[in-house]
Structure 1
Amino acid sequence: MKKLFLLIFIGLCVATLPVAAQEDVLKKLQAIAVVDQKVMMPMRDGVRLATDIFRPKTDKPVPVIFSRTPYNFNSWGNGEQRNGTYQQALDAVSHGYAYVVQNERGRFFSEGEWDILGTPVTDGYDAFSWLTKQAWCNGKIGTLGCSSTAEWQMAVAALDHPSHAAMVPQGFGAGVGKVGEFWEQGNWYRGGAQQMLFTAWLYGTQNDAIRPQLPKNATQEELVRVSRYFDLATEMPPVDWSKGLRHLPVQDIIKNVNGQKGVYDKMIVRKPNDPDWFKGGLYHDNMPFGVPSFWFVSWYDVSSAPNLALYNHVRKNATDPQVRDNQYLVIAPTLHCAYKRATENTIVGERSMGDARLNYDEQIYAWFDLWLKGDANDFAKKTPKVQYFTMGSNKWQSSDTWPPANVEMTTYYLTSGGKANSLYGDGKLTLAAPVKESKSDGFAYDPMFPVPSYGGNVCCTGTAVQGGSFDQHQMETRHDILVYTTDPFKEGAELSGPIETTLYVGSDAKDTDFTVKLIDVYPDGRAYNLDETILRARYREGFDKEVWMEKGKVYKLTLSPMVTSNYFAPGHSLRVEISSSNFPRFDRNLNTGGKNFDEKTGVVANNQIFHSAAYPSAIRVPLVKGK
């Protein structure tokens, strides 16, 4: 399980190397670089953070590529290089940069107490200040990393340190708090439902309240020496999360598998509007933003839609025109942090994306050369503002905006004869708005028998959910899934942009969830998932309050937008699935109206979807004109 966590979460996205390869990389690095490891960098409160520095052998000051991470980068563990630190350093030094990697406070050799995103935010600011005082630094710093090595960058960008010249955040969604319609609070929530990835992730990541720590008077020489023998990395017992996440109450899941006692206990009780979300390292859309950025997003990551919302927010609202006009974006058809794993035939889940390769390193270093070295290169001339991969047609496209300017929001209405249950029901998506009353569709949602997650836009759940695109048609035989499908497209149709969902619903429960999944249906019946969303009904009037449902009433729900770029070839159909669970992608609503995280027993909710002239349930999709 430990190796699984490393492979999934590692911020640098470089695979573990065997011993011989590690030694070869180290020899090449030592030939061109000054290697200075276990530098204890002081923060303003006296806490020192363990830092490894690799810089070119030159008397001239050089720019810095800086990565900060909660993950273990000790290259001596078990005689193997854990996460490609040396390779990352070799690449940077070969391009004329110093490479600096640092552990967040409270992680491994760093002092202090750890919290998610390594609060306080000033640690990043203080690290920049320390680096710019070094004689070998030219005063320009770029930040780079994926996942937890990216997520801290946005909040620090809000502090606008004068040396923070450029950044490359990849798979950065857990650093986004509130942005526009999204109140995910670092991916903890989607639509007010907990994204259970953090339960599995924190099991393998959080520090125990009682843990061994190194003495504060240890010298750098001593720390380098002992790093060959130990590194304070925990060895967590393996857990089958496909079973572990089923435990109730949710607040005891980690306790139930004898996990460490840590920050999960305080986070699981937070509501979406808890003030603590606004005190740490999350970036919220009421904060400034001061850094030119090259953003990387994946279609099958956990947070594509809020990530893209943040990109648009910065392009629109950054006060400095130079910052506002220098925001670039890549959207790849991959899983979380898997950009460089694209091949000539990239398979994501079960679906082929064709040749999804892109010259990532070339573009990233051209970006850094422009901002950190001041090179008059042709990055801006050669690089579109937005590079996005369209699935189905399996090709890279470019645009000056996201979504592309030539999209037209088109409404498809839900309709049926009252029997949309399962693949074999009569649910349809039509362009014609309903003109009369029609029967609603109903289903029973039993939280003890939830709809299982199958593929999807997810990461970090261990054995519980395999992310990506999988054929859903067997899942759609369940009676508690409503299925609505267009007629096959006679001509090809490309959807590129946000997908908006409005549902009119009812329930005999005080509170329940409603889920939506977007599907590309092939002529042979295969049904590949594109994106998914959810809304906990208590938050239908906003995430700053809870409002209960009453039996016999109809309520309008506006769900958090989905997003994709997908070409529906002739003969394909667009489908949406509607249910009340997608577990363990999201935690189960027990339907009681209680706190949910502290409950063991749920009740069955009898839920309804209305689609009539009075209650026109619909989805709005971004059809690309001329396709």
Structure 2
Amino acid sequence: MIKYTATTLALVLAAGAFAQTPTMAPDIAAPFNAVTPAADYIRREVMVPMRDGVKLYTVIVMKKGTANGPILLTRTVYNAGKTTARNPSQRITEILPISDAELVSDGYIRVYQDVRGRNQSEGDYVITRPLKGPLNRSATDHSTDAWDTIDWLVKNVPETNGRVAVTGSSYPGFTALMALIDPHPALKAAVPMSPMVDGWIGDDWFHNGAFRQTMLDYFTGQTATKNDEDPVAMGQRDYYAEFLSAGSVGGYIASYGLDALPGGKKLMEHPAYDSWWQGQALDKILGARPLTVPTMLVVGQWDQEDSYGAPAVYRALEPKDTGNKMLSLVIGPRRHSGVNYDGSSLGPLRFNGDTGLQFRRDVMKPFLDSHLKTGAPAFDAPPVFTYAVGADQWQRHERFPAGETVNLYLDDRFSLSLAAPAAKAAHDDYVSDPAHPVPFVPVPVDVRNRAVWSSWLVSDQRHASVRPDVVTYVSQPLKAPLQIHGQPQANLFASTSGTDSDWVVKLIDVFPEENSARPELAGLQLGIGMEIFRGRYVKGFDTPSALTPGKAERYRFLLPGVNHVIPAGHRLMVQVQSSWFPLYDRNPQTFVPNIFTAQPGDYQKAAQGVWRDTLRPSHIAIPIVGGAAAARAALAN
């Protein structure tokens, strides 16, 4: 029996005087805010108005008690709401990405915003919405939206000191660059990471004209709905077999109805580098404007999605940085967007500590502090800051490249030489068969597997070097270390029996065959820089034309930017091939006006020739620290 004291009974009787909640009252009522007074942060969701009346969903997060705080803004397609509520926690460092921890712990106000038309923002979404002008007759673009957002933030966030920086990786790296085109006066610094800059020359969609068909999943996720990923409904299949059975990339698109998506249709309608692509190239746009905002460009040495953008913007803006104080280029030993995560390793490679944290804590934060925080010490931002893979240390340089160009020639006996070839007519041949394309990783291929996709650029290239349709050249073991710093350039003289062809050139660090300390590295063929070129564009990216069968053409194209030290005892290798599948669509090797509409009968075998004689000296122009003397010390026979 329950016994009540007089006081308890009085309280019970008094409680009964209040109306009780009806039993059938709905138990899911108004939105529930799980943030309690114990939380160490404030999180606000607001709809920020743009100049055309469209409102953009924006989340503002800061530690409680923040005052006079700088704002760090990211404009994203990747769901601002979820990004700022990653865990149901009362701690600010748990709800935000790990890359924000040092900043918000030191008084930064972190802001994420859905770009127009995505997730919870109003308006229409256009992938990489062009600037106002010939391609965009509206009154708004990412530059105006950034300006309007910054203007609203500095006027409506009472905890701020009125200074703003922009950052973000991949698509948010693109929007960070767009904010620099007509920067708001309150914008004091920018850190664009792995930015999409030119989707045709070398970022997400094409590389030198070859279509990256694995990005079709991305198009579906970006345009099928306003919300997050909606991948192609092909099941858990092998991408290699799936794309091959489709007959062509156009056949694949049609089989899944992707030609109903406007974004995909635009790509198919612009296979060449026409005014539509040129009018969106951010390196060209920014290069035509003054550099007024201190900017730190960041990219990974093995960025599998956007390796082109950051170095291209650096090349465009560096001449404007007369005092070498406004512009920095940072290259780390990372995958795409890897700067925002643990950077201790990548695939089989291990580095000297967490290189991502090292950059964010020791370089990025002091850079931002110096421009945004009241009374912060000045920071001597390095003009070029790169991690020397192989030496396992960060290095500062005054320019990029820091190396001097040395030509490494393809030689007879499938070797490499510092001496130009002396033969009058020499070439190495192979047959490229579109029915059996060279895979970019061993089959089966699952690009939805993050472990495969994020590290494929450091995957062992031995699977390709043993194929008869890949021609391989390799040096003797190096006698001394060789440091490559910059972007190697392929200079390939090649012929085909067809009327079109792709050319893939890979520069590779070959590890010794024995390694008792790290057996998994023994014999590893590690890509230093690898790239593709679609032959029809040899006369000009905007003027595709048929190749002349049997005629050797010169193909010149840049490989990704690196700082790579090849130790003594390792060897250098160059591989040349004509397919890289299913990463890139197959070239029919028969010229057709638009490869998206190629028919099964257009795909034909071709006899390929890699030339290495006095008139056609195929070589890789490599930026080597120490120049010719260092090259001779390492490579002399």
**Shift, 1:192, TM fit:** 1.3
* Offset from partner CA, 1:324-363 (integer Å, 9 cap, x none): 62222321111111125445xx432223345353523323
**Secondary structure in 2 aligned to 1:597?**
helix
Q: Is the 8 A contact 1:332 1:388 kept in 2?
A: yes
CA contact 2:56–2:114 (8 Å) conserved in 1: yes
Aligned to 2:488: 499
Q: Which residue of 2 aligns with 1:437?
A: 424
The separation in 1 between residues aligned to 2:101 and 2:404, in whole angstroms, is 46
Deviation at residue 114 of structure 1 after TM alignment? 1.0
Alignment of 1:97-496 (within 5 A): 97-118=108-129, 120-121=141-142, 122-134=144-156, 136=158, 137-172=160-195, 174=196, 176-177=197-198, 184=201, 186-208=203-225, 232-233=227-228, 236=231, 237=233, 239-240=236-237, 241-246=239-244, 247-254=246-253, 256-257=255-256, 261-278=261-278, 282-285=282-285, 286-288=287-289, 289-302=291-304, 303-317=306-320, 325-342=325-342, 346-355=344-353, 357=355, 358-362=357-361, 363-380=363-380, 383-404=381-402, 407-416=403-412, 426-454=413-441, 462=449, 465=453, 466-496=455-485
1:20 aligns with none
Of residues 92-101 and 154-163 in structure 1, the stretch that sits farther from structure 2 once superposed is 92-101
Residue equivalent to 1:589? 587
Aligned: 1:54 with 2:61: yes
Q: Normalising by structure 1, report the TM-score.
A: 0.80
State the one-letter code of the partner of 2:616. Answer: Y
Q: Based on CA coordinates, which of the two structures has the bigger radius of gyration?
A: 2
What does residue range 510-589 of structure 1 map to in structure 2 within 5 Å?
510-524=499-513, 525-589=523-587
Pairing 1:87–2:96 present: yes
Instruction: Give the % identical residues.
Output: 26
Q: Residue deviations 1:504-543, cap 9 Å, x none?
A: 1111111111110111112214321111111111111221
Determine the C-alpha separation between the residues in 1 that align with 2:66 and 2:394: 42
Letter of the aligned partner of 2:153 in structure 1? L
8 Å CA contact 1:513–1:537 kept in 2: the answer is yes
**In 1: Cα distance, 2:117 partner to 2:477 partner:** 55
Aligned residues of 2:415 and 2:473 also touching (Cα < 8 A): yes
Between the aligned partners of 1:36 and 1:24, the Cα distance in structure 2 is 11
Deviates more, 1:67-76 or 1:44-53: 67-76
C-alpha distance after superposition, 1:3-60 (max 9, x if no partner): xxxxxxxxxxxxxxxxxxxx99966994343x321x2212222221111122455695
In structure 1, how many angstroms separate the alpha carbons of the residues matched to 2:564 and 2:66?
Answer: 51
> Do the aligned residues in 2 keep the contact of 1:414 with 1:618 (CA within 8 Å)?
yes
Q: Distance in 2 between matches of 1:562 and 1:55?
A: 37
**CA–CA separation in structure 2 for the residues paired with 1:143 and 1:204:** 25
Shift of the 359–568 alpha-carbon distance from structure 1 to 2, 3 Å rule, reads: closer
* Equivalent pair of 2:56/2:113 in contact (CA under 8 Å): yes
> Are the structure 2 counterparts of residues 347 and 364 from structure 1 closer, same or farther at C-alpha, using a change threshold of 3 Å?
closer
Preserved CA contact (<8 Å) 1:158 1:287: no
Aligned residues: 555
Q: Does the C-alpha gap of structure 1 residues 409 and 93 become closer, same or farther in structure 2, counting only changes over 3 Å?
A: closer
Tell me, in whole angstroms, the C-alpha distance in 2 between the residues paired with 1:536 and 1:29.
Answer: 59
Partners of 1:499 and 1:58 lie apart in 2 by: 50
CA contact (8 A) 2:87 2:95 kept: no
CA pair 233-546 structure 1, distance change in 2 beyond 3 A: closer
Alignment of 1:12-23 (within 5 A): none
Deviation at 1:140, TM superposition (A): 1.7
Q: Deviation of residue 608 (structure 1)? A: 0.8
Task: Answer yes or no: is the 8 Å Cα contact 2:493–2:611 preserved in 1.
Answer: yes
Cα distance between partner residues in 1 of 2:563 and 2:352: 15
Quote the offset at 1:452 in angstroms.
0.5
1:336–1:571 distance in 2 versus 1, CA, 3 Å = same
> Quick check: 2:434–2:586 contact (8 Å CA) kept in 1?
yes
Distance in 1 between residues matched to 2:417 and 2:34, nearest whole Å:
58
Q: Equivalent residue of 2:368, what SS? A: helix
Partner deviation per Cα, 1:143-173 (whole Å, 9 max, x = no partner): 121122211121220213212110111121x
What secondary structure sits across from 1:152 in the alignment? helix
Change (3 A) 1:84 1:43: farther
Contact 1:335-1:467 within 8 A present in 2 as well: no
Q: Secondary structure at the match of 1:368?
A: helix
The answer to whether the 8 A contact 1:155-1:283 is kept is no
8 A contact 1:200–1:462 mirrored in 2: no
Measure the CA separation in 1 of the matches of 2:212 and 2:292: 30
What RMSD, in angstroms, separates the aligned Cα atoms of the two structures?
Answer: 3.3
Structure 1 counterpart of 2:619: 618
Q: 1:100 to 1:563 in 2, by over 3 A?
A: closer
Query: How far apart are 1:580 and its partner, in Å?
Result: 0.6
CA distance in 2, matches of 1:58, 1:521: 54
Retained in 1: the 8 A contact 2:382–2:396? yes
d(CA) in 2 for partners of 1:165 and 1:481? 49
